[in-house]
């Protein structure tokens, strides 16, 4: 009832046919993604920020599914909402500290002086180019699009080198993380004073 004028307007625009199920789903998912991201950068409590980030990642997984990228949607949930977020939660639990003033307001005038023109330029450029974007294939993709078989086929043939390089990169990252985060103790160093040990 309340939406009647809105619907009438949409019919007048000849736009109501595009308000199908996926379109409505997109707006719900987009709201989850944007609100989650905003909560992430505004929360004082770091655990709340991580939880909002998980909501954002789930919303992104849903939008990948809307784009027929089923394999990536599953990976997004497994890798981001699963592995990376658990890592973040652990670190937050280890070193959760209250921040006296969480927003860096110093030099905000200079930042605004650079940032506001940058945002105006970004919005202007985006609105200019987005009007020219024409989807090359508006019809539904083939059945195999975005499946594990097709993406895996690409990864193990055309992009085999990149795939192997990434495995090496992950190995380096694991070793680097262990080396950097390890407590530095040399065997011949004198033991730390008692008050430091209990600090």
Partner 1 sequence: MIPIQDFLVLSAVLFAIGVLGVILRRNALIVLMSVELMLNAANLTLVAFGRAHHDSRAHAFAFLVMAVAAAEAAVGLAIVVGIFRSRRSVNVDELTLLKH
CA distances, 108 to each of 34, 41, 112, 118 (Å): 24, 17, 6, 15
Q: Report the residue from 2, 4, 12, 183 that binds partner 1 according to the rule CB under 8 A.
A: 183
Q: Of the two residues 16 and 162, which places its CB atom closer to partner 1 in the complex?
A: 162
Least spacing, CB of residue 81 vs partner 1, in Å: 11
Judged by beta carbon, residue 11 or residue 176, the one nearer partner 1 is: 176
142 vs 91: CA distance, rounded Å:
43
* Token reading at 36: 């989650």
Relative orientation angle of helices 160-181 and 148-156, to the nearest 10 degrees: 90
By CB under 8 A, residue 192 contacts partner 1? no
Cβ nearer to partner 1, comparing 7 with 96 = 96
Whichever of 16 and 66 has its CB closer to partner 1, that residue is 66
Among 6, 97, 191, 196, binds partner 1 (CB under 8 A): 97
Choice from 4, 6, 109, 178 touching partner 1 (CB under 8 A):
178
Measure the CA–CA gap between 96 and 156, rounded to whole angstroms.
42
Q: How far is the CB of 122 from partner 1 (least distance, A)?
A: 7
Piece of the chain touching partner 1 by CB under 8 A; list 6-14, 75-83, 190-198:
75-83
| Interface of this chain with partner 1, residues 53 to 72, rule: CB under 8 A | 53, 56-57, 60, 63-64, 66-69, 71-72
* 189-97-94 Cα angle (round to 5): 60
Angle at 44 between CA 43 and CA 50, to 5 degrees: 55
Residues in the chain: 199
17 is an interface residue for partner 1 by CB under 8 A: no
CA distance 25 to 30: 8
8/27 with CB nearer partner 1: 27
Question: CB neighbours (10 Å) of residue 76?
Answer: 21
Binding partner 1 (rule: CB under 8 A), the pick from 2, 180, 189, 194 is: 180
Cβ closest to partner 1, residue 1 vs residue 114: 114
């Amino acid at each position: 009832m309340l939406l009647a004028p809105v619907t009438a307007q949409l019919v007048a625009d000849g736009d109501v046919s595009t308000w199908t199920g996926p379109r409505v789903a997109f707006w719900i998912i987009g709201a989850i993604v944007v609100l989650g991201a905003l909560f992430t950068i505004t929360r004082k409590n770091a655990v709340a920020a991580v939880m909002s980030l998980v909501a954002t990642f789930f919303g992104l997984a849903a939008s990948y599914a809307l784009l027929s990228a089923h394999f990536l949607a599953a990976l997004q949930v497994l890798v981001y909402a699963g592995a990376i977020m658990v890592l973040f939660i652990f670190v937050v639990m280890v070193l959760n500290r209250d921040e006296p003033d969480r927003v860096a307001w110093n030099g905000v005038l200079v930042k605004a002086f650079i940032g506001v023109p940058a945002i105006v330029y970004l919005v202007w450029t985006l609105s200019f180019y987005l009007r020219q974007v024409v989807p090359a294939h508006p019809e539904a993709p083939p059945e195999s699009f975005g499946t594990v078989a097709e993406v895996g086929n690409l990864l193990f043939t055309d992009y085999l080198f990149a795939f192997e390089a990434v495995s090496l990169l992950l190995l380096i990252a694991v070793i680097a993380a262990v080396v950097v985060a390890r407590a530095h103790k040399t065997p011949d160093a004198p033991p730390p004073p008692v008050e430091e040990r209990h600090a």
